[in-house]
A and B are shown apart, each in its own frame.
Chain A
Amino acid sequence: MEYIKIDGEYFVVDDNELDPNGDPLFVEITKEEYEANT
């Protein structure tokens, strides 16, 4: 799991979950969850 902040949005990137193009799953998360994991 990788946690990313950009332009006021927060995401978790999950390399174990791939989209139909084979890219990691990006899911927007709350600031609180981001801060709890970084």
Chain B
Amino acid sequence: MSLIYNRKTTGLFENGAAQKGDNTNFSGYTTRTTSGDYLSNGRSLYMSNVNARGSGTLGAQYIPVDTSKVYQLAYSVKTITQSYNNRNGSGHLGYACFDENKTFIDLRNLKGIGNTQLTRAASPGDTTIYVSDASGWYTGTVHYFLAYMIFGGIYPFSGGYSRYNVASNGYTASTITNLGGGEWSIGLQSGMPTWSGALDSNGEYPVGTYISNGRAGGTYNYALGAPVYPQTWTTYSTVCTGTARSSGPTFRHGTKFIKFLNLRNYNYRSENAGDAALYAMDNLFFGEIPSANDTLPTSFLQSDRFR
């Protein structure tokens, strides 16, 4: 069986194997041409910043994604120089999700926690809302978790993604009250915003409007984990398909584009008495595959056949 991987280059990353002879789309890196320190095309992307201790870097390229399809994500990495205290390179590997407007998708834009519905119509400016169940809502003090979102209009609950959200300090935990009879009240810290796309003809959020608790979590999709990179070429690979409230391989609800993501030397970010570790990345691959059983093997992912 022959497989066609989307483009004349291997996979969907433009310059993921330094094919252009420079660091196009990967400005967080330089390039390296030392024999053995690249896999293909005579050079690799090189994390050569001795001060990179935990800083994130996103690729410049927005890669279109159809979340109903199956993709393989694979990065090959090799530590070149250990840190001052003999640490290898390390850090989270994955991607960031963006919607159709290329706006970043945060977990607080996604259903999945405290899903409920309005039991009474709400109006912009209301400081109390009534829902069928708030038992799953966060009741602590961290303002990033006191968030909420509503669904409606172009953001139906079925899609799982909404930009109608208050991302922090949206409600006061102590005001959550079980009124009995299948109704709870929630006190908002500010009046309900005006999200015109979700309002009905009466200018209200109608009974039955879906609402969810917004909770921050893993900012990006750390799909390949947070490994310590060996001093020999090592390939990390996973399969990405479908949508969820996810910081792992599964795409986030609403995803239309992704970008490359690496938190450089994150694992040893607090060790700053000398130079950080340096490492190379090459043959970055993201491409559609026929099924989860048809992943490209490491022998190819580490080969010189990337174009």
Contact = CB atoms under 8 A, between A and B. Distances in A.
B222 interface: yes
Nearest to A20: B104
Interface in B137-157: 138, 140, 142, 144-145
Interface residues of A, number: 16
Contact of B55 (A9, A11, A17, A20): A17
A11 B145 CA distance: 12
Contacts of B58: 20
A11 B106 CA distance: 15
Interface residues of B, number: 26
B140 A27 contact: no
B106 A19 contact: yes
Given A4-B142, A6-B140, A23-B106, A11 B56 contact: no
B256 interface: no
Interface of A, helix, strand, loop or mixed by DSSP: strand
B104 A26 contact: no
A26 B216 contact: yes
A23 B218 CA distance: 12
Interface of B, helix, strand, loop or mixed by DSSP: loop
Contact of B104 (A6, A13, A21, A28): A21
Contacts of B194: none
A13 B247 contact: no
B240 to A, nearest CB: 18
Interface string B124-146: 00000000000000101010110
Interface in B187-221: 215-220
Interface of B: 54-56, 58, 92, 96, 98, 103-104, 106, 138, 140, 142, 144-145, 167, 215-220, 222, 247, 263, 266
Interface of A: 4, 6, 9, 11, 13-14, 17, 19-21, 23-28
- List 6 A-B pairs, minimum CB-CB distance, nearest first: A20-B104, A26-B219, A19-B219, A28-B218, A21-B104, A25-B219
